Chains A and B, each alone.
Chain A
């Protein structure tokens, strides 16, 4: 169970997020939506401790996330990375093992097996030895997801995983979401797009500096709530 209590993030004197309180049960897939600048990515980064919290607590199963960060898998936005970095697909996925490998240890066969399994789950096993710079946007995203899969975490945080990916990758990612959910993991997915993909989420968390609505998708994803979050600029199809 993920619990976020009264989380607030200020950039200077400007509040990016305020009074954010919610919880996510195991086996739930939560879509985080909201307009530009609503604080979606900030929320994820704040939960991971990548931006300083002005106030609030983030706990996973009663333990502050800061102390068990290796149990949280964070899939960042692809654009934050230099994809010219000299590394192969396999190497990048193997990096997902580092958090729990401990200092001075080297990867063992068990880690390579995990990498192989993760690559198969995202259908990238044939590209294992390719240089990451040669991959398409969708393939890059799947590499990132594979890297989070080897972490075998309890909570998965995805920051805009569907940006710039092809249809095939979109289906693959949704398949992974289903698998993780049925394994009892908690998932939070930041989504900018209000398209078809929304239909796959269990719960919707609407943000606009604070939570404007949170609950099961059928109840929350309404024109009225969208108007509140997006200032009436979005129409449901």
Chain B
């Protein structure tokens, strides 16, 4: 027992005695945090694919930076920003919708980037696959310092603009209506995303940076009720997947980017599969719905039970206790869900557009007659 524990410690510790692995570990923690934070904003704003656009669009900037002997972080950042600006331009100047515009910009920038990199890779000893898929074990001290500075800039900005970013993400039109510079905030957020991408590209590679941005954030989205806790859970997942991915990549000699991606996907899968058991989380809605369906048939409505059922954002993993809790609270749940007072019943929002306005009456009748 003791021996196996020591073995485990050794498995963790031994690689860190090599400087390149120590650098890689710091880098993994750093990018895990950065990507999780910026990715959370992208996910709740339904701009996940914008992460893909930015990450693929840094490639031509990197290539040009190599050609001009300037810092590749600067080149990548500029070209990432250019991609979001041209995306906005394409959308406002033409009738092309967001998704198509993203496809256009992404492939144009990426195509240019690949051509440039293949042209220069022989004379400058640049490895194309390192940029596409990352090489977390090849990170230099200078890379690490640059990434750390970028990370500091991103995190401090997010902290400073937290409430404005939250409002922008939740209700951009209202943010504008009350006088916030919504457009500027949006581009600030995009600039931070571009910074995150350039800080990440050497470890994970531009092709899979999107995974680091989106997967931990999407997993956290399923588990949390508040954006602040989503940021925390997402960060924890991001750091855990990059560190675990790094060790697997070290011992199994696999590419770091794809390995980290697979680890974070595994976490997502785990959460999805255990979803119905995670009561008290937003994702536990599934479980609630099933309970309602089952229980409503057998139990009549009682109006004596208080209608409001508070939901905490527990993210505990004690499955055993949670299962017991689930069983115990079924009657309360059923009566709350079927209570005549419609104020307590979670109901799907009525989707309505300017053409469908005559549906209004019908829906309000449904409301009053629905019990």
Residue positions of A touching B, CB distance < 8 A: 36-37, 41, 48-50, 69-70, 72, 74, 76-83, 85-88, 91-92, 95, 98-99, 101, 103-104, 106-107, 126-127, 129-131, 133-140, 151, 163-169, 192-193
Contacts and interface: CB of A to CB of B under 8 A. Distances in A.
A82 B361 CA distance: 23
Most buried by A among B160, B164, B346, B364: B364
A198 B169 CA distance: 35
Given A69-B177, A168-B342, A192-B360, A86 B225 contact: yes
Given A37-B354, A139-B343, A167 B368 contact: yes
B171 A76 contact: yes
Contacts of B126: none
A111 to B, nearest CB: 11
A135 B179 contact: no
Interface in B168-214: 169-171, 173-174, 176-180
Interface of B: 44, 46, 160-161, 163-164, 166-167, 169-171, 173-174, 176-180, 221, 224-227, 229-230, 282, 285, 308, 310-312, 341-347, 349-355, 357, 360-361, 363-364, 367-368
Contacts of B308: 126-127, 130
A140 B221 contact: no
Contacts of B180: 98-99
Contacts of B368: 166-167
A130 B226 contact: no
A141 B213 CA distance: 33
B179 A69 contact: yes
Contacts of B311: 129-131, 134
A70 B175 CA distance: 10
Given A85-B170, A136-B347, A70 B178 contact: yes
B346 A87 contact: no
A106 B161 CA distance: 10
Contacts of B310: 129-130
A139 B367 CA distance: 12
B163 to A, nearest CB: 5
A69 B164 CA distance: 16
Nearest to A133: B282
B225 A164 contact: no
Contact of A164 (B169, B224, B355, B363): B363
B178 A166 contact: no
Given A88-B226, A101-B163, A36 B354 contact: yes
Contact of B163 (A41, A69, A98): A98
A168 B364 CA distance: 11
What's the dominant secondary structure at chain B's contact region? helix
B163 A85 contact: no
A50 B225 contact: no
Nearest to B161: A103
Contacts of B229: 86
A76 B352 CA distance: 13
Contacts of B221: 86
B343 A193 contact: no
A138 B343 contact: yes
A129 B46 CA distance: 24
A163 B344 CA distance: 18
Most buried by A among B163, B169, B354: B163
Contacts of A80: 171, 173
Contacts of A166: 342-343, 364, 367-368
A129 to B, nearest CB: 6
Contacts of B282: 86, 131, 133
Nearest to B282: A131
Contacts of A72: 177-178
A134 B346 contact: yes
A136 B343 contact: yes
Given A50-B173, A134-B346, A136-B345, 6 more contacts: A37-B354, A50-B177, A88-B225, A126-B308, A164-B352, A166-B367
A137 B349 contact: yes
Contacts of A92: 170
Nearest to A163: B360
B38 to A, nearest CB: 16
A196 to B, nearest CB: 12
A165 B364 contact: yes
A138 B347 CA distance: 10
8 contacts: A50-B176, A78-B350, A82-B46, A86-B227, A95-B171, A129-B311, A131-B282, A151-B178
A214 to B, nearest CB: 22
Contact of A70 (B46, B164, B179): B179
A70 B167 CA distance: 14
B350 A74 contact: no
Q: Which 7 A-B pairs have the closest CB atoms?
A: A69-B179, A164-B350, A99-B178, A134-B346, A136-B347, A131-B225, A48-B177
A87 B357 contact: no
A91 B44 CA distance: 15
